[in-house]
Amino acid sequence: MKKITYIEAITEAMAEEMERDPSVFLIGEDIGLYGGVFKATKGLQQRFGVERVIDSPISEAYIAGGSIGAALVGMRPIPEIQFADFITPAMDQIIQQAAKIRYRTGGQWTCPMTVRVCCGGEVGGGLYHSQINEQWFFSQPGLIVLFPSTPYDAKGLLKSAVRGDDPVIYFEHKRLYRSVKEEIPDEDFTVPIGKGAIRKEGKDVTIVAYGLMCHKSLEAIQALEKDGISAELIDMRSLRPWDHEMILSSVKKTSRAILVQENSKTGGVMAEVSATIMEEAFQYLDAPVTRVTGLDVPMLPFAPPMEHFFLPNADKIAKAVKKLMEY
């Protein structure tokens, strides 16, 4: 076992998959000589060469489109989108091409591509360097969407993504890069796609979250325990497909659900989770399904007080739980 950070887990996963499979390569802005804006690819170009760690032009459309073409002829690209805020130029390639290739060819072609997307707030990045837009891809059949919250899952899910045959959008929260550490095995391992994880068992209320919000939820749970409230925390980690069975089973046990996402409320991942709970577990509920989310405003404010006002946090989550317990 060794204790590493979230970003070190991502770097290790890429290096090990490149070592294991010569068809794996990286492409993105500043990822080669510079080692990436956040140093996720530091040292990899020196180790694997310029043909496998490619510094691209500043063109997300090229990064995604070129990766799709490479995937169609047998390669396994890991393109990097430097900030989620700038993924929109690649939307046509990802949604109209990558997501539909398997279906439109009757399964004759696949697109084994893993798009790494750096995202998230609480870093003072402002409107164009803090966005988090997983809901754009969550709704698209043909895509797998992953969002790890721990170093173990960051490494294991990335390995699973690279080894699969379908396009994956792999979100990395920049606030987690160096703020969380965890012991992980030295030997090779993967984390199954489509399975959630119970981070904390409880009996009074189910909290569902992913990414940075898992850590905010754990902070809230610690505070709630002082008031005698036992909360269960489920880390989705895989957003599409997501673990219906685990979440519904927990809600049926606790009879209450708090759904937490960093993104704005309308049209988010948790809207779908909420609808599923209402459709399939309504008779078990003792209180309304409640969401704790970012605000429905253009995200994300630059001024620290406004950013704090926008984002969900432990206090907001704990208050929502206490209100729910009044039912």
Catalytic positions = 129
For residue 252, CA distances in Å to 203, 249, 261, 299 come to 10, 5, 21, 34
Beta bridge partners of 231: 205
Tokens 């990558």 map to which residue?
98
Closest by CA to 235, choosing from 157, 183, 181, is: 157
Question: Distance between terminal CA atoms of the chain?
Answer: 45
Integer Cα distance of 242 and 263 in angstroms: 17
Rg of the chain, C-alpha, whole Å: 20
Integer Cα distance of 204 and 135 in angstroms: 29
CA 93 to centroid of chain Cα atoms: 20
Integer Cα distance of 155 and 151 in angstroms: 6
CA 307 to centroid of chain Cα atoms: 20
Between helices 151-163 and 6-20, what is the axis angle to 10°?
30
Residue 297 has phi, psi (to 5 degrees) of -135, 160
For residue 162, CA distances in Å to 17, 166, 221 come to 8, 9, 34
Tokens 């659900």 map to which residue?
257
SS3 label, residue 80: strand
Encoded tokens for 221: 């749970």
Cβ within 8 Å of residue 327, ≥6 positions away: 256, 286, 287, 288
